[in-house]
Chains A and B, each alone.
Chain A
Amino acid sequence: MRDDLKVGVFLCECGGNISDIIDLDEVRASLDVEFVGQFENLCSLNGRKIIRDAIFDHDLDRVVVAACSPISHEKTFQDYVKPLNPYLMDMANIREQCSWVHSDKAKATHKAITLINASIEKVKQSDAVDPIYCQTPDEVAVIGGGIAGMNAALSLAKQGTKVTLIEQSPSIGGHMAKIGKVFSPVKIAEECGMCLLNPILNELVWNENIEVLTNSKVIEAERRAGTYNLIVEKSPRYVDTERCIACGKCKEVCEVEVPDDWNDGLSTRKAIYRPFGQSYPESYVIDMDNCTKCSSCVKVCNMRAIKLRGRPERIPLQVGSIIVATGHKLFDMEKRPEYGYNRYNDVITQSELGRITGVNGPTKGKLLKSNGEVPKRVVMIQCVGSRDEKPDGHRYCSKICCTVALKNANIIKHKNPDTDVVICYTDVRTPGMFEKYYKHTQENEVRFIRGRPGEVVKKGDSFIVRTEDTLKGEFIEIEADMVVLSTAMEPSDGTREIAEILNIGTTEDGFIKESHPKIKPVATDVQGIFVCGTAHDPKDITESIMQAIASASKVSEYNYGGVEIEPFIAEIDKDKCILCGDCISRCKYKSMSIQNDEVYIDPMACTGCGKCLVGCGQKAIHVNGNIDEKILATIKGVLSNKNDDERMILVFLDNIGYTAADNIGVNRLSYPESIHIIKVISVNRVRPNHIKYALENGADGVFIGEFPGDLMYDEVERKVDRIKETLIELNENPEQIMFSKVYIPYFTGLARKLTDFDKKIEELNL
């Protein structure tokens, strides 16, 4: 049985770091185990031989290494105990949490013995388990064929990865294909956007590792062992891309004219059309909502490429990772009717102005009003729908509108130097090099009025823009014959839909949320799914491309490295499970799902927190690795060594709290010897009966620390509250338990909290 297991304890002097404070002779004498060894530097390379020889010579079943923190050297010693299973070794942290925080040699020695005994009890409960290696499939789905998705796909393809690029519209290219000119803040010049986009598009089309699916969207997704099974629905194009040579005869005979969405409705197109000159696939497409099925196009097509009948096709796709690049849309101007967008033809958006000034646009690049005249004065209104907390508005800044307005103002000035351009702004946001472009715009005689206009009305042939010139403190009415609205960027419908289908988190504004804004800026809260471009938040082309490449790089990390996972994760007993699905909704890490009539736990997402076990009425779930028993054994081990006059406080911390506690030692601060820190895989695994046992068997206080960023934080806090309530019902003092936030850098705070708690417990005991 477990009590008969042969345990070896290896004491490390750590070159005096440990042995100067702790009397290792006394420690050695106190231990009742199969083997005890003591060495100057156990982590050095000859430590491996020492440990392995002892394991063989004494036929050891379990090993305790009493040395530094497992955070520093657990991996080292897991390796040194080979051929023993790595999880049959445990470390007693007698450096960071003993010799470095205590100065009283006798007390430190006593505490070291306690910690080592706890480790011995714990390691006896350990089972041999194997780490889980996950190798995800290499294939990647990139959803969204705009500038971000195209760059992500291309980067991966060039690294040898197979990519499927899924685009909802009939052509890839996205917003960038429409915007006309782009500008460089350094060159202080506008250049042709299509000329920059086209090489990328061509490269992508010719890359054999990329398959482009247009007219397609993901409609279903499920995940299993790091593999995503997607169902892509491809709508019929009604024109065979293999046969179509884009000669355009079909459109000549088509009699249906509808607003051309690629030109923001400023011109018309036929029901059979090519989205734009450089669109890919290089093929026409039929807009079946508007087609009258007159068949004229069918008759005129020499290539026999047109079929008026077609059905959506469902394509299954298996990938290891997904990059979401579903982009943005522009603010709906119906929500700000006071600007007259829906009433007046010459109140337009910056996007429409981009089309009007684009050489491939409705006026072939001439800046003209709807009546064909050149405008005398163009007034631009900034922040329409952005920085606006009123209903339907967005509180955030859309980030690109200031520079877009500057760019379009300059383009107007190049084309028609006599047209007066006025930008009504609240703040001009041109960080970094963009500031130079702002100055350049001023030099071009573009005028700036600081004020947020209230309304635009038509008087006679022109508009009146009502605003305050806030720098003068004067209400003014600016006459204009063209008004351009800088509309907010908001998540596209596709972005909102895919977030739901993939079950990835979004911000309150509906953008895809990154896993951490600083250190994980392209990961989502679901493993293996990454985000880039404006699906993530408002950003410009440069930033979209950078984020696209970053997300591709993250996918490559997965594909090359695989993922090693600690085996302490939940497992389902399929015989007991009744598929009630309760655990699926309880899991904060979205690790569970029902697949093939079984609850499936994704090892990459499960943290072993154990929340699922507690709620399972069938008791069909357990977490591998005997976690409960190990915690209980550790508690028993600590308490078994308690002296009569000794105060004993148990502190439960997971990785983050434990690192913070180590930092106290690393920085040579101190806390009372009564503090005994127990490292757990997840604070949530500390169960009420653990605490109950501890308090009934000699623990004077229990301290539980949790990082507020942990998804389980609220849960743990509620649990501690409930335990306190139970104590009150039992006439016990709830003050014996303390719950606290922990942060890695805030180790001084943790040291103080531990010291204060010790003092409080001392007072309670009086």
Chain B
Amino acid sequence: MKLIPDKDILLFRSCLVSVEYPGVESSTKFVFDKLGIDYAISEKQTCCTGLGHYSDVFNQIDTSAIGARNFKIAKDIGRPNLVMMCATCYAINKKSVKLLNKKDDLRNHINQLFEENGLEHLKYEKDDLLPSENIFHVVDILYGKISEIPKHIKYDLSEYKIASHHGCHYCKVHYEDTIAGFRDPNIIDELIGACGCKTIGWYDHKRATCGTGFRQRYSNPDLSFTATADKMNALDDEEVEIVVHLCPNCHIQFDRYQPLISKREGREFEAIHLNIAQFIAIAMGGDFDKVIGVKAHTTPIDSVIKELKEVEQ
């Protein structure tokens, strides 16, 4: 297996996490602290351009130029390991590193723009970062510490029916780097397993998109929500209570739009939606308001998790 770092990490802030589910960030920090992972956040780092990129507003040069700047910041503070909370940030940054390393024309073009406009300090040199060695998602880092997780588990969540939803941009874009499968993705299932719980495993549409589809959600809502309904119907067929994911955009699609899709389908979907960091943080005893950030959720967490049972020692 590839080497997963536990230090020199820049925890890459995500726009959607910041404004929609800030509890994902606090939960990630909470779990990272428990596991002794060395990370920092930089106020200089900016958005990866992902939402604009996949709405076709930003082209690859725009995105890679912004990427080059963020990569430089990471290097300058001695934290070359970028760790993303959002699947799209992960895919976008990994792709930019790959392209900047491999395509000389692109790198030279961007560097020349920087040079001609007083931004020499942002120039990216070939192989400044490496796509497989420096670009990670939070789940990768957690997976690197999977044997440590059980030691910190305080609450037993094994009574619930749990299913995983793996973000497309974590699993399928750079599938050669995906841990624990992309045709039947299982990294979340394995992390949940480390918390002493068992997921339902495979279900119909397990590897399918949440339905966001970037512009589809806003410009083509029928198409978007029909795809989400495929997923929600399949999860409900299995009577799933907790859906665990790894991307704030999936989180929005499931959590925010569950009431709407219930209405459209004429079927009451009642599952709650948690990011894997939130799930592990709950199991490790994180406070619902101060760590998990449940107030940001549309489907109330306490509609399913009514009380917590401590694990038997």
Contact = CB atoms under 8 A, between A and B. Distances in A.
A336 interface: yes
A457 B204 contact: yes
A459 interface: yes
Contacts of A338: 183-184, 207
B52 interface: no
Interface in A333-369: 335-338, 340, 343
A340 B184 CA distance: 10
Interface in B217-252: none
B105 interface: no
Contacts of B176: 391
Given A391-B175, A391-B176, A336 B183 contact: yes
B226 to A, nearest CB: 13
A391 B204 CA distance: 23
* Consensus secondary structure, chain B interface: loop
B204 A459 contact: yes
Contacts of A337: 181, 183-184, 202
Contacts of B207: 338
Contacts of B175: 390-391
Interface residues of A, number: 10
Point out which of B175, B176, B202, B207 has the most chain A C-beta atoms below 10 A from its C-beta.
B202
Contacts of B184: 337-338
Interface string B165-197: 000000000011000010110000000000000
Contacts of A335: 183
A390 B172 CA distance: 12
A762 to B, nearest CB: 40
Contacts of B183: 335-338
Interface in A305-336: 335-336
Contacts of B181: 337
Nearest to B184: A337
A457 B202 CA distance: 10
Nearest to A464: B204
B216 to A, nearest CB: 17
B124 to A, nearest CB: 29
Contacts of A457: 204
Nearest to A457: B204
A336 B207 CA distance: 13
A335 to B, nearest CB: 8
Nearest to B203: A457
Interface in A433-459: 457, 459
A694 B114 CA distance: 55
A459 B238 CA distance: 12
Interface of B: 175-176, 181, 183-184, 202, 204, 207
Interface of A: 335-338, 340, 343, 390-391, 457, 459
Which A-B residue pairs are the 4 nearest by beta carbons?
A337-B184, A457-B204, A338-B183, A337-B183
16 contacts: A335-B183, A336-B183, A337-B181, A337-B183, A337-B184, A337-B202, A338-B183, A338-B184, A338-B207, A340-B202, A343-B202, A390-B175, A391-B175, A391-B176, A457-B204, A459-B204
Given A337-B202, A391-B175, 14 more contacts: A335-B183, A336-B183, A337-B181, A337-B183, A337-B184, A338-B183, A338-B184, A338-B207, A340-B202, A343-B202, A390-B175, A391-B176, A457-B204, A459-B204
